Copies of this chain bind each other. A is one copy, B any other.
Amino acid sequence: MNTLEKPKVHYAKKIGAPPGTLRHIGDVYLEKTKLRRTVYTADSADIQETEQVQPLLMDASPTGICWIEVNGLHDVETIEKIGRHFSIHPLVLEDILDTTQRPKFEEFDGYLFFVLRVPRLIKPSAGAKKQTGYFHDQIKGNIVFEQISWVAGKDWLISFGETGQDVFESVRERILTGKGRIRLQSTDYLCYSLLDLIVDQFFSVLDDLGDALNYLDEALVLHPGPQQMKQIHFFKRQLLYLHKAVWPVRELIGAFERCESGLCNSATRPYLRDSYDHIIQVIDMVETYRDLVAGMLDIYLSSISYRLNEVMKVLTIISTFFIPLTFIAGVYGMNFESMPGLRWEYGFYAVASLMLAVALIMIKFFRIKKWL
């Protein structure tokens, strides 16, 4: 079981290397790095997929905007080539390859640099889902984060992904079909479109998380147990990671909106302001969910305390009721030859009456204590 976020990353190997040394830090998801180039102008759009970087860079047509998607980061050489071709600073490349980056936005001479962490819900197999609720077991249904980064120049944008999941499909589709205003705008609008998609991704994950929380909330009322406790704990962690991934995005979008280089047109700013509002909304939801989960923990703990109390009360009532009676019976079970009453005809009835009296007193006592 692997519950902490970054256990496999061994930073130690980086120690002492000169800055700008390119090295992939992170897991490998794809066997081969996959490349995809989308070139578009207001009137046309063209997509090309390959695994070789050289040809792509060769005929990079000077007209239109060229967007290269790189999927898979372990092939350091390819990324270095791209970096050299677009004269990207080695420190930027180092950040792209280190998949433990905190989301950030940086402005360089001639290009802008974005890093984000995109959440994705890994759902269980479809069959199991219907019956048990996919967050029900912490093995099924999990939020994973993929680092998505891109560098945007005047008429080019290179985006980098780890897993090859096609996050930006719908943007590419809009480019191909010419839907919306994307083909009429410059790279800053493309940057916004990517950002917007990632923000939507957060909404989508939170939506599923909300369903799962609802499910847990019901379960907590119906049959609280250590299972629920583990769930609560699991949600707490997921929300902690979401919190860490989403907070810096606010700053990122704000910095992009305010950036003063010619790479961000004023026409794009209202859209960015809209994205900014959305990310604030995401943050708000994450914090609300965290508060809700904290409240669930309180409920869980107090319900355990309360039930312990109830259990003890039953035990105490039973014990307190019978122990004195049993003692009386024990006394008359002693084998002394001369004991008062043993030979008396109504001895048994007398003792039975005594027991009854004690029992009635006990019941009275419980009534006073309000246990019955």
Contact = CB atoms under 8 A, between A and B. Distances in A.
Interface of A: 1-7, 9-12, 14-20, 89, 91, 94-95, 100-102, 104, 106, 169-171, 173-174, 179-182, 192-193, 196-197, 200-201, 203-204, 206-208, 210-211, 213-214, 217-218, 221, 225-226, 229-230, 233, 236-237, 240-241, 244, 270-271, 273-274, 277, 280-281, 284-285, 288, 291-292, 295, 297-309, 311-316, 318-320, 322-327, 329-343, 345-348, 351, 369, 371
- Tallying the copies of this chain within the complex gives 5
30 contacts: A1-B218, A7-B210, A11-B204, A11-B206, A12-B208, A16-B173, A18-B182, A91-B271, A94-B274, A95-B277, A101-B277, A229-B299, A229-B303, A237-B295, A244-B284, A302-B304, A308-B308, A312-B316, A314-B369, A318-B319, A322-B326, A326-B330, A329-B331, A334-B348, A335-B342, A336-B342, A336-B348, A337-B342, A337-B347, A338-B345
A226 B303 contact: yes
Contacts of A16: 169-171, 173-174, 197, 200
Given A285-B6, A303-B229, A320 B316 contact: no
A19 B274 contact: yes
A337 B347 CA distance: 9
User: Helix, strand, loop or mixed for chain A's interface?
Assistant: helix
Given A305-B301, A322-B323, A102 B179 contact: no
Given A304-B305, A318-B324, 20 more contacts: A4-B213, A5-B288, A6-B207, A16-B174, A18-B174, A19-B274, A91-B270, A229-B302, A233-B295, A233-B298, A302-B304, A304-B306, A307-B309, A326-B330, A329-B333, A335-B339, A335-B342, A336-B348, A337-B343, A337-B347
A115 to B, nearest CB: 9
